[in-house]
Chain A
Amino acid sequence: MNKKIALVLILLFGAGLNSFAQTNSTPGAPTAGIVAAAKKFLATLDDAQRGKVVFDFKDEAQRKRWSNLPTAIFKRQGLRMGDLTKPQREAALAVLAAALSPQGYAKILQIVEADEVLRTSGGQTIFGRDEYYVSFLGQPSTTEPWMIQFGGHHLGLNITLAGEQRTLAPSHTGAQPAIYELEGKTVRPLGRETDKAFALLSSLNEAQRKQAILDFQMRDLVLGPGRDGQTIQPEGIKGSALTEKQRQMLLDLASEWTGIMHEAVAKAKMDELKKHIAETWFAWSGPTEKGSAAYFRIQGPTVVIEYAPQRLGGDATKHIHTIYRDPTNDYGLKWWKP
Chain B
Amino acid sequence: MVEAVTRTLWRLPLLLALLSLPFAVFAHRDDQYLQATLVAIEPSGVRLQINLTPGVAVAEQVLAQIDRDRDDVISKNEAAAYAELLKRDLTLRVDGRNLKLKLTASEFVPAAELRTGSGTIQMEFSAIFGPLAAGPHRLTLENRHLTTISVYLINAAQPRFATVEITRQKRNDNQSAGEIEFTFHPLRR
Give chain A's interface residue range (CB within 8 Å of chain B).
Answer: 20 to 34
- Is the CB–CB distance between B157 and A230 below 8 Å? yes
- Is the CB–CB distance between A233 and B155 below 8 Å? yes
A118 interface contact, C-beta 8 A: yes
Chain B residues lying within 8 Å of A231, measured Cβ to Cβ, are: 157-158
Which of A65-73, A103-111, A133-141, A245-253 touches B? Answer: A65-73
- Chain A residue with minimal CB distance to B30? A312
Chain A residues lying within 8 Å of B156, measured Cβ to Cβ, are: 232-233
- Chain A residue with minimal CB distance to B177? A216
Chain A contact residues: helix, strand, loop or mixed:
loop
Mark contacts of B33-58 with chain A using CB atoms, 8 A cut-off: 1 yes-contact digit, 0 otherwise: 01010100000000001010000100
- Is the CB–CB distance between A73 and B25 below 8 Å? yes
A285 vs B174: C-alpha distance when bound (angstroms): 12
Q: Which of B24, B30, B152, B173 contacts A127 (CB 8 A)?
A: B24
A279 interface contact, C-beta 8 A: no
Chain B residues lying within 8 Å of A27, measured Cβ to Cβ, are: none
Chain B residues lying within 8 Å of A118, measured Cβ to Cβ, are: 24
- Is the CB–CB distance between B172 and A220 below 8 Å? no
Chain B residues lying within 8 Å of A176, measured Cβ to Cβ, are: 24, 27
Within 8 A of B (CB), among A227-275: 227, 230-235
Q: Kindly provide the distance from the CB of B158 to the nearest chain A CB, expressed in whole angstroms.
A: 4
- Is the CB–CB distance between A216 and B173 below 8 Å? yes
Chain A residues lying within 8 Å of B158, measured Cβ to Cβ, are: 231-234
- Is the CB–CB distance between A216 and B25 below 8 Å? no
- Is the CB–CB distance between B29 and A220 below 8 Å? yes
Q: Kindly provide the distance from the CB of A302 to the nearest chain B CB, expressed in whole angstroms.
A: 13
Chain B residues lying within 8 Å of A319, measured Cβ to Cβ, are: 27
Known A74-B118, A217-B173, A226-B51; contact A232-B38, beta-carbon cutoff 8 A? yes
Chain B residues lying within 8 Å of A233, measured Cβ to Cβ, are: 155-159, 166, 169
A124 interface contact, C-beta 8 A: yes
- Is the CB–CB distance between A312 and B22 below 8 Å? no
A67 vs B29: C-alpha distance when bound (angstroms): 14
A313 interface contact, C-beta 8 A: yes
A338 interface contact, C-beta 8 A: no
A230 vs B157: C-alpha distance when bound (angstroms): 7
A222 interface contact, C-beta 8 A: yes
Within 8 A of A (CB), among B113-167: 116-118, 120, 151-153, 155-159, 166
A171 interface contact, C-beta 8 A: no
- Is the CB–CB distance between A220 and B153 below 8 Å? yes
- Chain B residue with minimal CB distance to A321? B28
- Chain B residue with minimal CB distance to A232? B155
- Is the CB–CB distance between A67 and B118 below 8 Å? yes
A335 vs B157: C-alpha distance when bound (angstroms): 25
A52 interface contact, C-beta 8 A: no
Q: Kindly provide the distance from the CB of A65 to the nearest chain B CB, expressed in whole angstroms.
A: 11
- Is the CB–CB distance between B31 and A222 below 8 Å? no
Known A74-B118, A176-B27; contact A222-B169, beta-carbon cutoff 8 A? no
Mark contacts of A58-70 with chain B using CB atoms, 8 A cut-off: 1 yes-contact digit, 0 otherwise: 0000000001111
- Chain B residue with minimal CB distance to A214? B171
Chain A residues lying within 8 Å of B27, measured Cβ to Cβ, are: 176, 310, 312-314, 319
A122 interface contact, C-beta 8 A: yes
Chain A residues lying within 8 Å of B116, measured Cβ to Cβ, are: 73-74
B4 interface contact, C-beta 8 A: no
Known A226-B51, A232-B157, A233-B157; contact A312-B28, beta-carbon cutoff 8 A? yes
Q: Kindly provide the distance from the CB of B39 to the nearest chain A CB, expressed in whole angstroms.
A: 9
Known A216-B171, A230-B157, A233-B169; contact A126-B30, beta-carbon cutoff 8 A? no
A220 vs B174: C-alpha distance when bound (angstroms): 12
Sorted from nearest, which 3 A-B pairs have the closest CB atoms?
A313-B27, A233-B156, A216-B171
| Complex A-B: 18 CB contacts under 8 Å | A124-B21, A124-B24, A126-B21, A126-B25, A127-B24, A215-B170, A216-B172, A216-B174, A218-B153, A219-B34, A219-B175, A220-B29, A220-B151, A230-B157, A310-B27, A310-B29, A312-B26, A312-B27
A sample of 14 more A-B contacts (CB under 8 A), given A176-B27, A219-B174, is A69-B28, A69-B117, A73-B25, A118-B24, A124-B25, A216-B173, A219-B151, A220-B36, A231-B158, A233-B156, A310-B28, A312-B31, A313-B24, A314-B27
Question: CB within 8 Å of B: which residues of A?
Answer: 67-70, 72-74, 118, 122-124, 126-127, 176, 215-220, 222, 226-227, 230-235, 310, 312-314, 319
